[in-house]
Structure 1
Amino acid sequence: MAETVPHRGLDAQGRIAREGSLARVRHDFRPVVAAARDGILDLFGPRLHSAYLYGSVPRGTARVGRSDLDLLIVPRAEPSEADRDAVGALGEQLDKEFPQIDGVGALLYGRGRLLSDAETYDLGFFVACLCTPLLGDDLAEYLPGYRPDSRLARETNGDLAALLPVWRSRTAEATTPEARLRLVRLQSRHLVRTAFTLVMPRWNGWTSDLREMAEAFAGYYPARGDQLRAAAVRGYEPADSPQALAEYAQDLGPWLAEEYARVHGVKTPRP
């Protein structure tokens, strides 16, 4: 049977549907995924609870030589610094071995943290809706269904005000084109996703496409629409742009943080 495409990312009950699947991984990326799976098993063995893909590869939108491989690795217990070093080394190895990818991003969280009450509407949502099972038992079985409501908006992206000073500091320290390029990509994506979740309850849906996010936002904040559209473009095709970083830190970011707090409140502090 043909795969049913959820309307605006929602299932028949109005909950956010899981967006990726192994079936959507394009042929060029399947050897990379297989090597990542084997490497994770070699590193963790019986200590591993589960592992996931997320991002463009399981969504089927990855571009050869341009997209990175994004992994979430979940040990049964909290990971050690040695575990983090080993995962970093695995990512470097995969990046060197496979020209299909442009880097590896690997998140490492223990099972207990992902299933904690504090993370139910942040990392829990990430696992249940944005991650595709690769190995082990799926933690989504222990998590609720998620709807595009204000609580989800607040707990996923309600911390922009706290992030802005960190962004400004890192921007001041970015003295090379390569460093500024990475910051433009990171901050562009974060701002577009935050802007989208600001309007997500009214739009009543979910998407991970940056351009679609920007258009959804622009429907409610047309005066800021062009800024978000430009940020979405930079999220996919980053440029060395000190002007964009200044705009994010001095104009768009502070405005968005203030409006987000007004509409949804501030993210609950984590332990």
Structure 2
Amino acid sequence: MTGSASDRMSGSTGDRMSGSASNRLTGGARDRGTGGTTVRPGLDAQGFLVREGSLARVPRPFRPVVAATRKRLTDVFGPRLHSAYLYGSVPRGTARVGRSDLDLLLALHEEPTGADRADALALGAALDGEFGQIDGCGTLLFSRARLLSDLERYDLGWFVACLCTPLLGEDLAARLPRYRPDTLLARETNGDLHLLLPRWRRRIDEAEDTAEARRPLVRSLSRHLVRTGFTLVMPRWNGWTSDLREMAEAFAGFYPERAGQLRDAAVLGLEPTGDAVVLRSYADDLGPWLAGEYARVHGVKAPRPPGWS
């Protein structure tokens, strides 16, 4: 799922459950004045997904990081940059000092080049080295045209419109539709897990045989599987959350036989170990089952052109 929504969201996540889990998850969403109709978290009264972050929610310790990022993006990319966005725990207000990373998405006027990617890596490394508040900085780069393309409307387009917070430039969300948590969105965001599994197995095989080397892989794959499990049930659950634990609980309501595995993955997505057995179970058991069930329920993601990653 290279470049998929689940990969992009695996940069950072809500670190704690917000609000009452029982109210948010067990069929008990809030009544928002819709004549008694239950409206799930993450939706407006018309059932559309609402944008989850804002600059106003950035925790105070992270505001100097965001201010420096805004200035340096302009300095580094200049006229190449169309717009820039934050996503993840920082704009959601759930970031933890020294534990959370800074996640950026950049829309360029043209397709990103190798030089663009090198500049983004250097900028991220500089920010990470200067600001102890963050534990890493990851940057995604795409062309404006790709983000607005028909092919990406229900993957990258949705990601920008619903999970990204504008930082600089024209907000592309104004040029994108509103989204519902339906099967089309589920299929296009995470309907390519079957393509990822061979790559996961190669990464596991090639990883250095130490817990420290495996820990980032456990973190990444755990988050990916939890988010894929959540979007599998999202149309039936009819709502949105970016909290891993909430995602696992939503999934558990529909697949109790696999609930324990996804709950464990949610824990490891937040506090990863370097357990090789866990990685093998993801690649050989939970992952293949989830890929098969996803294809059965929603179908598979529309194929992308070669090199479109």
**TM above 0.5:** yes
Matched, 1:92 2:125: yes
Task: Show the counterpart of 2:19.
Answer: none
Contact in 1 for aligned 2:154/2:185 (Cα 8 Å): yes
Deviating beyond 2 angstroms after TM superposition, the runs of 4 or more aligned structure 1 residues are 176-179
Please report how far the alpha carbon of residue 179 of structure 1 lies from its aligned counterpart in structure 2 after TM superposition: 2.5
Please report how far the alpha carbon of residue 46 of structure 1 lies from its aligned counterpart in structure 2 after TM superposition: 2.0
Superposed, 1:168-247 pairs within 5 Å as 168-175=201-208, 176-247=210-281
How far apart, in 1, do the equivalents of 2:52 and 2:151 lie?
Answer: 23
Greater RCO, 1 or 2 (C-alpha within 8 Å, sep 6+): 2
Task: Show the counterpart of 1:258.
Answer: 292
How far apart, in 1, do the equivalents of 2:93 and 2:40 lie?
Answer: 18
Task: Show the counterpart of 2:9.
Answer: none
Task: Show the counterpart of 2:116.
Answer: 83
| Alignment equivalent of 1:149, drawn from 182, 205, 228 | 182
| Alignment equivalent of 1:29, drawn from 43, 49, 62 | 62
| Alignment equivalent of 2:200, drawn from 167, 189, 192 | 167
**DSSP 3-state at the match of 2:161:** helix
**DSSP 3-state at the match of 2:151:** helix
**DSSP 3-state at the match of 1:155:** helix
Task: Show the counterpart of 1:58.
Answer: 91
**DSSP 3-state at the match of 1:49:** strand
Report sequence identity in percent. Answer: 72
| Alignment equivalent of 2:80, drawn from 47, 65, 72 | 47
Matched, 1:113 2:146: yes
Report the AA paired with residue 261 of structure 1: A
How far apart, in 2, do the equivalents of 1:147 and 1:7 lie?
Answer: 12
Report the AA paired with residue 182 of structure 2: D
How far apart, in 1, do the equivalents of 2:119 and 2:212 lie?
Answer: 25
Deviations 1:120-171 (A, max 9, x none): 0000000000000000000000101000000000000000000000000000
How far apart, in 2, do the equivalents of 1:150 and 1:13 lie?
Answer: 17
Please report how far the alpha carbon of residue 44 of structure 1 lies from its aligned counterpart in structure 2 after TM superposition: 1.4
Report the AA paired with residue 122 of structure 1: D
**DSSP 3-state at the match of 1:239:** coil
Please report how far the alpha carbon of residue 178 of structure 1 lies from its aligned counterpart in structure 2 after TM superposition: 2.8
How far apart, in 1, do the equivalents of 2:247 and 2:44 lie?
Answer: 19
Contact in 1 for aligned 2:40/2:238 (Cα 8 Å): no
Gap runs ≥5 in structure 2:
1-31, 33-38
**DSSP 3-state at the match of 1:148:** coil
Contact in 1 for aligned 2:233/2:250 (Cα 8 Å): yes
Higher helix fraction (1 or 2): 1
Please report how far the alpha carbon of residue 78 of structure 1 lies from its aligned counterpart in structure 2 after TM superposition: 1.1
Please report how far the alpha carbon of residue 7 of structure 1 lies from its aligned counterpart in structure 2 after TM superposition: 4.1
Task: Show the counterpart of 2:47.
Answer: 14
Contact in 1 for aligned 2:40/2:240 (Cα 8 Å): no
**DSSP 3-state at the match of 2:104:** strand
Please report how far the alpha carbon of residue 69 of structure 1 lies from its aligned counterpart in structure 2 after TM superposition: 0.2
TM-score (norm 1): 0.97
Contact in 1 for aligned 2:59/2:93 (Cα 8 Å): yes
TM-score (norm 2): 0.85
How far apart, in 1, do the equivalents of 2:95 and 2:89 lie?
Answer: 5
Contact in 1 for aligned 2:54/2:92 (Cα 8 Å): yes
How far apart, in 2, do the equivalents of 1:163 and 1:232 lie?
Answer: 19
Please report how far the alpha carbon of residue 39 of structure 1 lies from its aligned counterpart in structure 2 after TM superposition: 1.1
